[in-house]
Structure formats: structure tokens, C-alpha cells
Amino acid sequence: MPHEEVEHVTVSSVEHDLVIVGAGPTGLFAAYYAGFRGMSVAVVDSLPELGGQITAMYPEKSILDVAGFPDVKGRDLVAGLVAQAATASPTYLLDRTATTLEQDADGVTLGLDDGSSVRAKVMIITAGIGKFSPRPLPAGDGWLGRGMEFFVPSFEPYAGKDVVIVGGGDSAFDWALHLEPIAGSVALVHRRDAFRAHARTVEQVRASSVEIITKAEVTALRDAAGGSTGDLAEVEITVDGEVTTRKAQAVVAALGFVADLGPLQQWGIETNKRHLVVDSSMRTNLERVFAAGDITDYPGKVRLIAVGFGEAATAVNNAAVVIDPSAHVFPGHSSEGS
């Protein structure tokens, strides 16, 4: 989704009260809340657009766990968060990866992969799952962009097509549900007869015209001539050892993704597998470094967008006291005005 109102700063260094690493929903809300607390803020993200995973992978997905919105599309949620964050006049440093972290008594210096740097009094990491790459479909080698995709950022290209979706998680079922009224046909192929997707979504798909094929794998993709040089025309599906062929002009390999924290792992932050360990104030083990959202871990952690918003406010309010020890953690309600 475009963000024409966002200025891509190209300066070699900037200095702010707070730097946020990650421009997904949690990071954008943290930027807004930092402005509410009177902080100047910079936001760094390795992606070229705001919105994190939602913009990159799920802009048309219906999001159901945001308070006050029974059903909101990803792109609409991001647009609202960007507009809200604009009140803080954040400096956006997009398409840049945070690589190094240096600390001293007065703050942190974040080095970026383009040679620029950000100096701040406090940092909040809201990097979601970190850097991610889709899990490959072995049979789809060489077909990316020629009939096979890993994500469905727009539904229109699938209108009237025979679509095969491979996977059993939330993304696979969400896309099956949304493509069913648009595509010519939709089949969902999964190697097991149990699914990781939300039970409600599974039942909705079962009640639709989507064909669910379990204990199965897509073992080959072919063009109309039975080769691999033309446009996708059919897929080979192996079910319990038996091979069948199905007409398909589009395959979505929704097999999840591999994520890692990248350079963050070298900064000395305590981790639990691929998550950052925080306390109840969202502090990491490093002085002046907080975290919020899906990247964090603590006993009882629930990874929802709604939870990330609360953690962002908690992190910003506690960071405010680090910046100014005379400040209060609780500033009063944002609805009270100034």
C-alpha cells in the first residue's frame, strides 16, 4: 500500500529522544504514543513501506482482534495507524536494516546497513518476528512469479483462475476463504488431516466450495505442454501415494516462513529462541533498550496485535522515565487533552 505522505529521510545521522526498530502495527502505535508523551521519535524498518508483515503479506486480510473493529482489513488498519502516528511527526528511516548497537551513559547509537546512524536516549524494538523469508515449495522451484506466489497481497489477479493453495495454517485458510468467491475454483492441499488454522476459519472453509485435499502434497507444476518453461497450467498432487493431475493457473505456497533476529542477536539482548525476554515494564536486560509486540517473550505471553498495542504504551511510558527521571510512568489519559 502506498504511503505518499511519508518522507524517506536520507540524512547520514539523526538524533531523537526515542528510536523504534520496526514499523509494523506495534511500532506505529509506539510512535504515536511517544509523541503523546512529548518525545521526538525515529522509526527504522528494513522494509520499504510502513506496516510490517501486514503490508508485505496480508494487506487484504481481515483482522479480527483489534478492539473497536469487528472486522478491519490489514491495509485499512495500517492506514489508520500511519495517520495516528503522523501526530508525532516521526522520522521514518525505511528500507534500512539496524546492524549495530552501541550504548553509553546517555543513550544508544544504532548503526544502519546504509552507513547512517541514529542517536537516541532510549530504544524500543518492535520488530515482530524479525527478518523473514517464506518456506519453499520444493515442486515450485523456478515457478515464482510464473504462476506460483508465496503471498496474496491482492485478490484481483486470481479472478476466474483455478487456484491451488498449499498449507494448513491461518494464511492458507484465510486466502482460501477470500479467493473462493473470486477464483474459478480453489483447492487447499495439506500433507496432514489436522490444521494449524483457527477452528472458526477452518469451519468456514469447509462450508464453502473450497476442496480440501489432505494427506497430500503438490509434487510437480507444469505448463500446458507438460513442461516447465511456459505459464502454469496444471499441478501434480500425490495423495497417499496415488498421483493425480489438477488444472491450475495459480499456486499459493502458504507454508509459513523462516524468521530470525538477524543482527539483533549480536547486541547482547537476552533471548528465548527467536524472542526477546522482557519484564513487566517491557525492559530488556540492556539499559535503555525496551521491546514490545510479537518479538517479546515473558510468562503468559499472547501474540496478538491487540496485546502489542498495550505493550507499546507500557514501553513508551516506562521509557519516558528513563529519559526524564522526574516524569511519571502514567501520564494521564490521552483523551484528557493537554
DSSP state string for 149-190: ES--S-SGGGTT-EEEEE--SHHHHHHHHHHTTTSSEEEEE-
**DSSP 8-state symbol, 139:** G
DSSP H stretches of helix in the chain:
25-36, 52-57, 74-85, 170-179, 199-206, 305-323
Distance CA 41, CA 16 (A): 6
Tell me the pTM. 0.76
Where do the structural domains in the chain lie, given as residue ranges? 13-132+258-336, 136-253
Binding residues: 26, 45, 53, 58, 98, 132, 294, 335
- Which CATH superfamily includes the segment(s) 136-253? FAD/NAD(P)-binding domain (3.50.50.60)
**The three grid cell numbers given for residue 233, joined into one nine-digit string:** 497450467
Domains 13-132+258-336 and 136-253 share a fold: yes
The pLDDT tens digits along the chain (338 residues) read 444 445 555 556 789 999 999 999 999 999 999 999 999 999 999 888 899 888 877 787 788 889 999 999 888 999 999 999 999 999 999 989 999 999 999 999 999 999 999 999 999 999 987 666 788 999 999 999 999 999 888 889 999 999 999 999 988 999 999 999 999 999 999 999 999 988 999 999 999 999 999 999 999 999 999 999 999 999 999 998 899 999 999 999 999 877 778 888 899 999 998 899 999 999 999 999 999 999 999 999 999 999 999 999 999 999 999 999 998 898 776 666 54
**138 - beta bridge partners?**
none
Instruction: Reduce the DSSP state of residue 271 to 3 states and report it.
Output: strand
Are residues 108 and 125 in contact, defined by beta-carbon separation less than 8 angstroms? no
CA 19 distance to own-chain centroid: 19
CATH 3.40.50.300 assigned to 13-132+258-336: no
Binding residues for FAD: 26, 45, 53, 58, 98, 132, 294, 335
